[in-house]
Structure 1
Amino acid sequence: MLQGISAFIKLIRWPNLVFIFITQILFEFTVIIPAFREAGLSPNLSGSYIYLLALSSILIAAGGNIINDYFDVNIDLINKPHKVIISKYIHRHWAILWHILLSLAGVLLGLFIEFKTHAYLLGLTNLLCVVLLFVYSIVLKRKPLSGNIVIALLTAWTVLVVTFCESNLLFASGTRLPLSKITRLTFLYGGFAFILTLVREMIKDMEDIGGDSRYNCRTFPIVFGVNAARIYVAVWLVVLLALLAIMTIYVLQFGWWLSAIYCVGLLIVPTVQLFKKLLKSAEGKDFHEMSSLVKWIMLTGILTMLFLILHV
């Protein structure tokens, strides 16, 4: 029993789900609520609704992780046999059932939030996320770049959807809401998540090249070579470093020294380390370490939202 529960928790990739929860809750409480409070308004996701939104996102992501592993069992037996859950600990039929139940619950919860608030089209967008995750698992992840872009967009959506749920109020005439500030911060954090996910997905493709090539996948490193994949990652890391440098210079203009030190020490320095590891990478172990470092950078990036309480 305990082994089955432990296997299920690993299958849904609980650390990634925690990332989603932290991201959406922090964005709501550091960006949306303060902006609405200044305007004397209440957001659609006030009270418990932001937690329900986070739960719906987590349910959909968990269902997506299950269906992804379901179609990747044979590949994972080559790339990471010690991490295979489906067939070993959870029957394939149960995996499909859990995917359906979790995804359906996420969509229905989105419809409930939409019905109880003015978060228009949330149920539809949740359904679209489920469809994209399914198509990614069976088709897109085996093609160069398309699967990476879809996952990056869905990751960015975890931020964008919080603002999307308030769109009727943001664009209503006569409101005093700081639309430009909310939009700027939304795309700042959404773009940060998008770039880092593109980087991490390509690193994973390089790490999994053995099993992917055996089962005729056409990922970017297989089609264009590992060196081309390194160049691709390097370009995005340079873009990320440039954006982080601009952001650091920007906050220094206001004398926000603590934020600048945090950005340099916990974002820029690790990104430079990641760049160095990329140039020296040669085997699966190197790529795995790089993937873990990307997760760390993403976490520290998310936590910069806490500084918004102090400075914005």
Structure 2
Amino acid sequence: MKFLKLIRYQNLLLLAFMQLVFRYGFFKVQNIPLALADWQYGLLVAATVLIAAGGYVINDIFDQKTDTINKPNAVVIGKNISETQAYNLYIILTTLGVAIGFYLSNVIAKPSFASIFILIAATLYLYSTSLKQMMLIGTISIALLLSFSVVIIGIFDLYPATGIDNQQQMGLFFSILLDYAIFAFMINLLREIVKDIEDTDGDYNQGKNTLPIAIGKSRTAKIVFGLSFIPLFFIVYYVNKYLFDLLFVTLYMLLFVVGPLFYFVLKIWSAKTKSDFHFLSLLLKWILLFGILSIIVISLNIKYNA
């Protein structure tokens, strides 16, 4: 159980679920050609999850002192798992993930694509060692990595199956993936900043230079308040322009994405305590989940012409 806690298994399950939803809740329903067999796509999911798990481990290795202050009950390294064991675990997880990525790159006859997995693993390592010390750089990096876990589906499953005869169709599906990647980036960026506010005390004691440390929790919360309107307007515009004719999709988005996001906007303005920001961070995770699930609702609504 301590191992699962260390690798943030809930987040990894969400990541895997997100990637499975796009393939089996959208692409398969649309009956389009795909480059990877089911078991190969499973390997793509596994590679993403393994590298992400390695990222969590290396981050905890370098965050031991900070976590002792921010979340003492959640500390695993140094209590249940030694630092040496954690390093070995990081090497195993990351090496397996990159190796699977190398195999899949050769499967689709694009061996240079293996560099994508190396770059992701390297970014996670740099985040843990240096990027998160830089104001907003680390926050933006993590948000981009999550959004890229959506884009990578198109790179390995759509792009190799694209030809002259289906280029327009596949381009449409790839653009939909990009739209969801942008959504994931915006929501996760807000969440990472909220988590920085929540962890201000521990980060300050470790000499980190996060936004709330530089300008204060209250001002940072107000910035998040302003930034929150970007995804809110983006989603409302998207629904109005592309999905308004789909009744069930429109209702779903209003109830499970737009509504909770509007509630977040209202609550972030007055949030002050650590528990307030923890709740808002969790709320954003649910918004992200329901936003990703909307692709299934869209598929079913189109299929049954509801």
User: TM bucket by the smaller chain?
Assistant: over 0.9
C-alpha distance in 1, partners of 2:223/2:122?
28
TM-score (norm 2): 0.93
Q: Which amino acid aligns with 1:259?
A: V
Contact kept? 1:143, 1:220, Cα under 8 Å: no
Contact kept? 2:135, 2:209, Cα under 8 Å: yes
C-alpha distance in 2, partners of 1:237/1:205?
16
Contact kept? 1:251, 1:259, Cα under 8 Å: no
Q: Which amino acid aligns with 2:228?
A: L
2:22 to 15, 20, 27: 27
Q: Does residue 306 of structure 1 match 2:306? A: no
Q: Does residue 277 of structure 1 match 2:293? A: no
Q: CA deviation at 1:184?
A: 2.1
TM-score (norm 1): 0.91
Q: Which amino acid aligns with 1:144?
A: M
C-alpha distance in 2, partners of 1:160/1:304?
17
Instruction: After the TM superposition, list the runs of 4 or more consecutive aligned residues in structure 1 that deviate by more than 4 angstroms.
Output: none
1:252/1:26 CA distance change after superposition, 3 Å: closer
C-alpha distance in 2, partners of 1:267/1:160?
21
Q: CA deviation at 1:30?
A: 3.7
C-alpha distance in 1, partners of 2:113/2:89?
22
- Corresponding residue for residue 161 of structure 2: 169
C-alpha distance in 2, partners of 1:114/1:158?
16
Matches within 5 A, 1:78-157: 78-118=69-109, 120-157=111-148
Q: CA deviation at 1:244?
A: 1.7
- Corresponding residue for residue 258 of structure 1: 248
> The residue matched to 2:239 in structure 1 has which SS?
helix
Q: Which amino acid aligns with 2:91?
A: I
Residues 178-187 or 73-82, more deviating: 178-187
Structure 1: 5+ residue runs without aligned partners?
1-5
Q: Which amino acid aligns with 2:159?
A: S
Aligned length: 301
**Superposed CA offset, 1:249-280 (max 9, x none):** 235542x2111111111111111111122111
1:236/1:183 CA distance change after superposition, 3 Å: farther
- Corresponding residue for residue 282 of structure 2: 292
Q: Does residue 187 of structure 1 match 2:178? A: yes
1:287/1:261 CA distance change after superposition, 3 Å: same
Q: CA deviation at 1:235?
A: 2.5
C-alpha distance in 2, partners of 1:182/1:120?
24
Structure 2: 5+ residue runs without aligned partners?
none
Contact kept? 1:44, 1:119, Cα under 8 Å: no
2:12 to 4, 8, 17: 17
RMSD between superposed Cα atoms in Å: 1.7
Q: CA deviation at 1:239?
A: 0.8
**Superposed CA offset, 1:227-256 (max 9, x none):** 3312331232101111121233235542x2
- Corresponding residue for residue 268 of structure 1: 258
